[in-house]
Amino acid sequence: MWAAFLSLIVVLLYATAVFFAVRAAQTARTPQGAVGWVVFLMTLPWASVPLYMFLGHHRFRGYRIARRESERVVAGLKAHADAIAPDPLSLSVNARPFEQIAHMAISRGNGARLLTDGDATFQAIFAAIDAAQSYVLVQFYIVRDDELGLELQDRLIAAARRGVRVRFMTDAIGSHGLPESYFRDLRDAGIDVADPRDQRGPNFRFQINYRNHRKTVVVDGKTGFIGGHNVGNEYLGQDPVFGNWRDTHVEISGPSVLQLQLIFCEDWHWAHGEELLDELSWQSVLDPQDRNALIVATGPGDGSETGSMMFFSAIAAAQQRFWIASPYFVPDLDILAALKNAAMRGVDVRLLVPDVVDHRIPWLAAFSYFDEIRAAGVMVMRYTDGFLHQKVFVVDSSITAVGTTNLDNRSFRLNFEAMALFFDEAMAEETAQMLERDFRHSYELTEPLSAQPGYIRYGAPLARLFAPIL
């Protein structure tokens, strides 16, 4: 009897593995991902079947349903953008691919200020919250219950007590350690909270591989913030392991704030089930800096490969330089080919990555790509003054991007991300100068993988195997 029962379990396990393998072949976003899952499922079903149930989903249908509720606002913003469209002569690059990816139009009349460390970023965010008159929208991937997290909480509670409507949202995975008391204190002050702990049931459990990686603050529909900083003492450079934390945020004003606000509304609707559109201001004031800008939101709710396509479009547009800073470098084949092609065309391609280890597997996997891109002429720079976490790129003197998207498969296909793009020469030069300062705290990687220590030499190819299925 016991043997018959075990045999039945084995048959069911293999049948499930076959079913999941067929599903992976049909739905995986890349051929490499499909092959990776199929091989894994058919060779180790006892391990792969449970993992596939939690990590193998490749589409996010529920978010697309939530997004349809905002179509009327999208139409309004597009009409508004048409009325304040930039002079075509002010764009030195074809911006249509970025507008197609964003489903939004570039607008003029935007202001932007780079915030190049945690102190500058949170001083600006806290000042904006303290000055709020109507509402504050806050979303971070990670919020910690430490000094910085408690200061954010205090500022939000003080705003709520002044009569400002405050909404707070974070990610279930990123903020898994945030205690319930943190949310309770916000609620007790009258703050609306999208608590990831409230998202239960099979729909939540089997979608934990999707993470909302966005870091957004919007105040009164007039001021916005987006970038790489989360809320924790380490982002102020106070972690004894990482030391200095090199990150970048950008403060924006003008019509692009409304695009950032719309992205928050879509996320809020999905996480909290509430539609905010009619409760917020959708009127913008042109900033005298008059920069052309666009917010590009990407994620698994999109029907196409928007994350990868955004980088591909930027690399393809480069004629003189493409400089990019990212804490992780695990690209797909298209981005790998685009980087090599740009370097072979004579473009000055520089990749800035951290020398310090954050997450071991992607850090190791990056080494398996370095020889290939260096052979094509890409310069690999490794940052040594603490941990580099910024997500920034600059194209020629025409495009600057600051936001949350890493140069890896997770950001391309599994995370909800957002980048602020500026089609402005002055902004591009300011960003390039910032990156040049970072280059001075870096060294160029010249040694091949074969000359690296053994744990890198043998670990990098193994870590790369995980790239297609993560």
Query: By C-alpha distance, which of 249, 296, 309, 298 is closest to 431?
Result: 249
Retrieve residue 27's tokens: 């739905």
Q: For 151, left (φ over 0), alpha (ψ -120 to 50), or beta?
A: alpha
Token readout for 424 is: 């402005």
Kind of pairing, strands 442-444 and 223-227?
A: unpaired
The token pair at 280 is 């917020």
Catalytic positions: 213, 215, 220, 389, 391, 396
Q: Which two tokens stand for residue 190?
A: 């009258």
Phi, psi of 469 (to 5 degrees): -105, -5
| Token reading at 370 | 């370095």
Q: Is 280 left (phi over 0), alpha (psi -120 to 50) or beta?
A: beta
Q: Which two tokens stand for residue 257?
A: 């704030």
- Long-range contacts for 189-193 (Cβ within 8 Å, ≥24 apart)? 189/156, 189/157, 189/160, 189/161, 190/160, 190/161, 190/166, 191/156, 191/157, 191/160, 191/166, 191/167, 192/165, 192/166, 192/167, 192/168, 192/272, 192/274, 193/167, 193/168, 193/169
Specify the 3-state DSSP secondary structure of 450. helix
- 313 residue type, one letter: S
CA distance linking residue 72 with residue 250, whole number of Å = 28
**CB neighbours (10 Å) of residue 461?**
13
Radius of gyration of the chain from Cα atoms?
22
